[in-house]
Amino acid sequence: MPQYTLNIAHLYGDLMNTYGDYGNIIALRYYAEQIDVTVKTTVISLDNTFKSADFDFVLFGGGQDYEQTIVAKDLKSKAAELQHYIENDGTLLAICGGFQLLGSHMIMADGQRVDGIGALDLYTINMHDSQVKVAKDARLTGNIVIKNNQTGEVYHGFENHQGRTFIGDQELALGTVISGNGNNGMDNHEGIIHRNVFGSYFHGPILTRNGNLAKRILATSLSQKYPDINWEDNLKQLPTESF
Amino acid sequence: MGFKTTVAKLTAKSSYWLLHDILKRGGTSLPGKLAVKIDPTILKHIQQDFDLIVVTGTNGKTLTTALITRVLRAGDYDVITNPSGSNMIQGITGTLVTSKFKKNNGKRPIAVLEVDEANVALVASAIQPKMFVLTNIFRDQLDRYGEIYTTYDKIVSGIKYAPDAKVLANGDSPIFTRGDFKNPRIYFGFDHIQPQDYQSLTAPNNTDGILSPTDNSVLNYDFITYANLGKYRSHTDHFARPKLQYAVTSVDKLTPKYSEFTIDDTSLRIEIGGLYNIYNALSAFAVGREFNIAPEQIKSAFESNAQIFGRQEAINVDGKDVTIVLIKNPVGTNTVIDMMLTEPEPFSLMTLLNANYADGIDTSWIWDAEFEKLHTTKITAVATGGERYKDIQVRLKMAGFKDQAVYQDLNQIVTAIQKMPTKKVYIAATYTAMLQLRQQLSAAGYIKGGF
């Protein structure tokens, strides 16, 4: 009888859902159910209130440019609470557009500037920018492999983005690019890890193809809520999907 | 007609003759490619002694084109059309250069062409279409096509070359109210739900295109047929689905093999399952009516020859009743899953995933297809395979199908089908996986005529 619950907020799950990112929730549920944890998902969209205390994990996926600009406007009303969630070590996975919107700002493909919430030290320019020295004017599309420098784990995924993201010197990348492009195709960084926030351009989706990371994120989320249980050990016993 | 054009046409015709009559291959792309190479402007020089209907959109182009062709022929029009897969500029050029109109009955002949979304402007800038038929726009292989609004903009840029052409569009799809062109718009859609049964719904979370163009609010629906298609309205202003000129007024029976329904007082039956295919029939009905073909003639065009519904193919493998369906994007796959939900018998499902260029090289989309829904059917066994067998295997495992036969190599596929425990077997395959599958089935003698 499951007595533990993981409450997931799928931020703008109806608008920022373009690249199969929902699969990350399917993967978390898959591992959670095997250790008797029930997963409950709530979509928090335009005009809904995000209450950080209600959630143990937040997924913020990628969307189309048009939807992303609409989301960026609405996100202002949720920015303070989201910031509060992040600074209190809440666990969050942000993919592609969601990753970009956690930074200070981004320049869309058409040159339009969109403000992010500035929770992380990162910003995004577009593929036409003169700073772009690799694949200028082209999307970065293809398979990607990175290595996480904390754990040595290797992650596989698919990237498809026009924006080029740069993380601050004090920020840690999710991994170093082994093959593919990563954040901008130039500095070998892919994604970000900031407290318990994981940002990335990885589709695939990232947690379905990289079971180690799924388990890490699940353990982190559950440990915040149920600190007396050794979730890492519980999860270690499960087979890990990695491909 | 200049010398270059003449040479280009002759080259196309002779290469078509060589391919078709001598080598017995069905291609139109190579002749088209040769012709375009010799004279890049060749399409502009084709004598426009026919009306052109362009059929485009993400899903349903092939069947819609085939149905329109049948309907118009039933109305005694002389029609040429392009074979499935020849929907880019080379294939279309090949079709137009090598086809001949035969009849001379006083009616202007018609070319009904399935056109890839990104090729609409290329075609329309060369030959002014009389009509555009827009089926739907869904997220489709993002690595190739990009986002839905980009796709629609490409189509609109083609429509602008023909300001007098009628635009026949799926009224249930909110995106088709967009676009700054002045052409007459005619909408078709579903009105099979009575107002007392209206609900207040929003589209499922894994669909795109759900914002109102007026104020960017999330659209509400009185009913949804599938994905983001249905009777939509804004909850903040007057934006709502436009008036439908042609409507499905009742859905009478849905089975995996056929559907019965009524369009504006005409009861119809098509020999193919899936609600989404009713949309294809509806658009063909609408085109037929626009060309003044009587509803009864359209009915007989649909019902007289079941061969037309070729895409969803039924074959017999040693007594097993095998249905092959193409999957390529989440909405298409979900409609296939919905079709399987109407299957009353126990069945097995084999899903084959490749990620070559023609399939889309990003496999992430399989996570937006709701395989979980299949638990409500009598699904008995699940097999997975293809070059990306691992992705699809894990997808179905995480959907709760723990026991699977896994086939990394499609060479074993005939044996795999024979091993399925049920008489009914569905095979859902991406494009190149389907070609490989058909090759295997053909080599083993289960299907005729190559692949």
Q: What is the domain partition of chain A in residue ranges?
A: 4-236
The reply to whether B203 touches chain A by the CB within 8 Å rule is: yes
Domain count for chain B, please give it: 3
Task: Determine the pLDDT at residue B434.
Answer: 92
* Whether residue B424 sits in one domain with residue B400: yes
Among the partner-chain residues A23, A43, A65, the one whose CB lies closest to the CB of B364 is A23
Using the 8-state DSSP alphabet, how is residue A9 labeled?
E
Would you state the pLDDT for residue B25? 56
> Count of A–B CB contacts within 8 Å?
92
Residue A186 DSSP one-character state: S
Average pLDDT over residues A13-32: 95
Asked if the C-beta of B370 comes within 8 angstroms of chain A's C-beta atoms, the answer is no
Q: What is the pLDDT of residue B112?
A: 97
Q: Is the pLDDT of residue A93 over 80?
A: yes
Query: CA of B364: which chain A residue's CA is closest?
Result: A204
Mean pLDDT for the stretch of residues A216-235:
97
**Partner A contacted by B364 (CB < 8 A):** yes
Of B205, B216, B363, the CB nearest to A43: B205
Q: What are phi and psi of A63, to 5 degrees?
A: -140, -175
How many angstroms separate the CA atoms of B182 and B56, rounded?
Answer: 19
Searching chain A, which residue's CA lies closest to the CA of residue B356? A142
- Catalytic residue at A128? no
Q: Is A186 on the interface with B (CB under 8 A)?
A: no
**Is B449 within a domain?**
no
The verdict on B346 and B279 lying in the same domain is no
**What span, in angstroms and rounded, lies between the C-alpha atoms of B51 and B65?**
15
According to the model, what pLDDT value does residue B451 have? Answer: 45
* B395 close contact with A: CB closer than 8 A: yes
Question: Do B317 and B285 belong together in one domain?
Answer: no
Q: Rg of chain B over CA atoms, in angstroms?
A: 22
Do B292 and B438 lie in one domain? The reply is no
Element (H, E) at A207: helix A206-209
Domain residue limits at B234: 46-308
pLDDT at position B6: 75
Residues B34 and B158 in one domain: no
> In the numeric block, which tokens belong to residue B73?
């022929």
Distances (CA, A) of B87 to B56, B117, B158, B410: 9, 9, 15, 28
Q: B264 and B126: one domain?
A: yes
Please tell me whether residues B322 and B296 are part of one structural domain: no
CA–CA distance from A43 to each of A50, A153, B48, B65, B187 (Å)?
Answer: 10, 31, 53, 39, 32
Beta-carbon separation of A19 and B206 below 8 A: no
DSSP B118: G
Are A160 and B143 within 8 A, CB to CB?
A: yes
* Contact of B165 with B85, CB cutoff 8 Å: no
Distances (CA, A) of A53 to A49, A82, A89: 12, 10, 12
B51-56 vs B79-81, strand pairing mode: unpaired
The residue among B216, B132, B78 whose CA lies nearest residue A71 is B216
Residues of B in contact with A14 (CB under 8 A): 202-203, 205, 210, 218
- Contact at CB, A20 and B397, closer than 8 angstroms: no
pLDDT score for B22? 58
Which superfamily is assigned to A4-236 in CATH?
Class I glutamine amidotransferase (GATase) domain (3.40.50.880)
Domain's final residue, options B308, B331, B356: B308
Distances (CA, A) of B300 to A159, B76, B261, B285, B446: 49, 13, 14, 11, 30
Residue B336: which residues within 8 A CB-CB, separation 6 or more? B274, B325, B327, B428
Strand-pair partners of A201 = none
Largest CA-CA distance found in chain A, in angstroms, rounded: 58
DSSP 3-state of B432: helix
Considering only CB atoms, which chain B residues are within 8 Å of A72? Answer: none
Same domain, B148 and B199: yes
The tens digit of pLDDT for each residue in A97-112 reads 999 999 999 999 999 9
Strands B229-233 and B220-226: antiparallel
Q: From CA B334, how far away is CA B336, in angstroms rounded?
A: 5
Q: Residue B211: list chain A partners with CB under 8 A.
A: 15, 66-67, 70
Is-contact A121 A88, C-beta < 8 A?
no
A176 touches chain B (CB under 8 A): no
Q: B339 vs A204, B31, B336, B365, B420, CA distance in Å?
A: 26, 38, 5, 19, 20
Report CB contact under 8 Å: A160, B142: yes
Phi and psi based region of residue B384 (left: phi greater than 0; alpha: psi -120 to 50; beta: remaining): beta
Domain ends where: B244, B276, B308? B308
Q: What is the pLDDT of residue B5?
A: 73
A139 is in an annotated binding site: yes
The closest alpha carbon to B266, from B301, B240, B239, belongs to B301
Instruction: Provide the b/e sequence for B7-33 (b: ≥16 CB within 10 Å).
Output: ebbebbbebbeebeeeeeeebbbbbbb
Q: Tell me whether residues B363 and A141 touch, CB distance under 8 A.
A: no
Closest CA in chain A for residue B219: A14
Q: Are residues B55 and B199 in the same domain?
A: yes
For chain B, percent helix, then strand, then coil, each to nearest 5?
40, 20, 40
In the DSSP assignment, the letter for residue B240 is B
Residue pLDDT tens, chain B, 451 long: 577 777 777 777 776 666 666 555 555 667 777 777 777 777 887 777 899 999 999 999 999 999 999 999 999 999 999 987 789 998 899 899 888 888 778 899 999 999 999 999 999 999 999 999 999 999 887 766 678 999 999 999 999 999 999 999 999 999 999 999 999 999 999 999 999 999 999 999 888 899 999 999 999 999 999 999 999 999 999 999 999 999 999 999 999 989 999 999 999 999 989 999 999 999 999 999 999 999 999 999 999 866 665 555 788 999 999 999 999 899 999 999 999 999 999 999 999 999 998 899 999 999 999 999 999 999 999 999 999 999 999 999 999 999 999 999 899 999 999 999 999 999 999 999 999 999 999 999 998 754 4
Among A67-71, A81-85, B30-34, the least confident range: B30-34
B234 and B191 part of one domain: yes
CB contact under 8 A, A209 and B391: yes
Confidence class for position A74, pLDDT limits 50, 70, 90:
very high
Residues 112-151 of B with CB under 8 A from A: 139, 142-143, 147-149
CB contact under 8 A, A66 and B143: no
What secondary structure does DSSP assign to A145-166, as a single string?
A: EEE-TTT--EEEEEEEES-EEE
Based on the domain organization, do B132 and B88 belong to the same domain? Answer: yes
Say yes or no: B340 and B282 in one domain.
no
Examine residue B123 and state whether it is found in any structural domain, yes or no. yes
Assess B68–A contact: CB distance below 8 Å, yes or no.
no
How far apart are the C-alpha atoms of B401 and B372, rounded to whole Å? 9
Residue A91 near residue A224, CB atoms below 8 Å: yes
The predicted structure's pLDDT at residue B336 = 93
CATH number at residue B399: 3.90.190.20
Of A15, A29, A158, the CB nearest to B364: A158
Answer for the pair A68, A114: CB distance below 8 angstroms, yes or no: yes
- Tell me which residue in A27, A66, A142 faces B398 most closely, judged by beta carbons: A27
B362 is catalytic: yes
Specify the CATH number for the domain of residue B82.
3.40.1190.10
Q: Which two tokens stand for residue A152?
A: 């040595």
Would you call A202 helix, strand, or coil by DSSP? coil
CA A92 to chain centre: 6
DSSP state of B324: E
- B14 inside domain: yes
The angle formed by the CA atoms of residues B153, B156 and B159, to the nearest 5 degrees, is 160
Boundary (domain end) residue, out of B281, B308, B335: B308
Q: Three-state secondary structure along B253-315?
A: EECCCCEEEEECCEEEEECCCCHHHHHHHHHHHHHHHHCCCCHHHHHHHHHCCHHHCCCCEEE
The rounded Cα B442 to chain-centroid distance in angstroms is 24
Strand A175-179's sheet: what is its strand order? A154-161, A140-147, A175-179, A189-190
